[in-house]
Structure 1
Amino acid sequence: AYMAAELNLYAAHLALDAHREVGNNAELARRLGLEIIDWWGNANGVQLAVLAVNDHGVKLDYLIDRFEHNVGPVKLVQAHGPRIIHKVGILSGFGAREIEEAASLGCDLYLTGETSHAQYYDAQVAGINVIYGGHYTTETVGVQALGKHLQEQFALEFTFIDLPTGL
């Protein structure tokens, strides 16, 4: 059907999470106005997650608003950490299993896509704020960044077709 319509479909998962320039996690940090200082969250020898900072510190509510303005609607916020945020861990998609690791890295805030019943209380126990931006939403920013990059580098036409799953 794609060929008949003369469309190209590109799908990527872990490679697009981890890419340092146009990946989901790097792009989420940029859209929140944060500086990337390191990578963590090992998956098959590749670090997928971003460790980012705002040296001056910003309010949690500011980052929630910035996410909603630059990325999309927030699904859930767990406010169990400091109100002023300096260090942020970011892992797009389903990253709830990494809440404790983000806290152990000294993060005031962890941004991921979704949680599960099993991990819901991990944020409270760890004393960390968590923003759940939606699995789909947090994994579309890299595709958009890649499309823009290809458009600029190779004069290709790119259209991002947003088909949210609600997850």
Structure 2
Amino acid sequence: MTFEQFRAYMFNLFGHLFTDFEEKEEYGFHNFSLDYYERIGYSTNITPEIVLQAASNDVQLIITHHDAWNFVYGMKEECIRLLREYKIAHFFVHLPLDYSDFGTCNSMFRALGINNIVQQSHQYEGRSAIGIGEYDSPLSLEKLIEKMKSVLGESVYVQKNNDKEIRRVGMITGAGNGTNQLREALNNNCDVYITGEKTLYSVQYAKFINMNMIVGSHTFTEIFGVEALAKKLKSEFKEINLSQLYEEHIEVIG
């Protein structure tokens, strides 16, 4: 797979989402210096540890959901230095992946056994509107908690604020810690709200409106979307080799 083939496929795959959002802010192509890319690694985040892990496994291209954060001071510069040193390319795609039909939210729904997507997450008035999915048959909150712990491979934070069985689920993967998103879940008759971060305000508001809430980590609520993207790439370019790059469960839940 050449860079030109990869870039063309990404633009074709994401379509209008690449024109709706600005390159280098919500997606970007970094350090593509090789003629051909065969060994692809993927993860939610890019960190110096991820780049070094990729280098040790002869990965030529890293695909992530997030770029390195500017406010994690110095880390982006170190990632860029290591990518150049080891001649590894990097592609990240943020909001276009969040809002695609195979992306972070819908992939997380499917990982939890939800195939009926009532509302896809999308941009609305400058913020992320929630995704909404429904189970075919209701299940207890406790069973949903066990499902989520199992698919994420980590503990989760739980607020049980009512005794409803769960059929309709509202979700924002990653940083869905806004009270406006909880209110949207309430207004759409969701039985539980799932996300990847919490704040004092979201915890207080969930309690106030009696909304059940489950919070996993930002990293592992979003890995399924990156994996889905990587698998689509593999189906298009069968000669490439894919590997998931390991990230630690360092986010404190609870």
- TM-score if structure 1 supplies the norm length? 0.87
In structure 1, what is the Cα distance between the partners aligned to 2:204 and 2:137?
A: 29
Match of 1:166 in 2: 250
Tell me which residue corresponds to 1:33. Answer: 113
Which structure 1 residue ranges, 4+ long, deviate > 6 Å from structure 2?
A: none
**Cα distance, 1:20–1:125 mapped onto 2, change above 3 Å:** same
Q: CA RMSD in A?
A: 2.1
- Give the partner amino acid of 1:100: R
Deviations 1:43-69 (A, max 9, x none): 456865311001320111111111122
1:87 matched to 2:171: no
Does the CA contact (< 8 Å) of 1:37 and 1:52 recur in 2?
A: yes
Tell me which residue corresponds to 1:49. Answer: 130
Alignment length (residue pairs):
166
Counterpart of 1:113, as a letter, is: G
Asked whether 1:69 is paired with 2:150, we answer yes
> 3-state DSSP class of the match of 1:114?
coil
Q: What is the deviation of 1:81?
A: 2.8
For 1:30, the aligned partner's letter is: R
CA distance in 2, matches of 1:104, 1:74: 28
- Confirm or deny that 1:139 pairs with 2:218: no
Q: 2:159 aligns with which of 60, 70, 78?
A: 78
Q: Distance in 2 between matches of 1:95 and 1:134?
A: 11
Structure-2 separation of matches of 1:127 and 1:3: 50
Q: Does 1:16 align with 2:97?
A: yes
Q: More deviation in 112-121 or 41-50?
A: 41-50
Give the alignment's TM-score, normalised by structure 2.
0.59
What's 2:232 paired with?
A: 149
In 2, Cα distance between equivalents of 1:141 and 1:46: 22
Residues 101-120 of structure 1 aligned to structure 2 (within 5 Å): 101-120=184-203
Q: 1:128 aligns with which of 205, 208, 211?
A: 211
Give the aligned residue type for 2:242.
F
8 Å CA contact 2:161–2:211 kept in 1: the answer is yes
Which structure shows the bigger proportion of residues in strand conformation?
1
Measure, in 1, the Cα distance between the counterparts of 2:186 and 2:134: 14
Deviation at 1:102?
Answer: 0.8
- Please, which runs of 5 or more residues in structure 2 have no aligned partner? 1-81
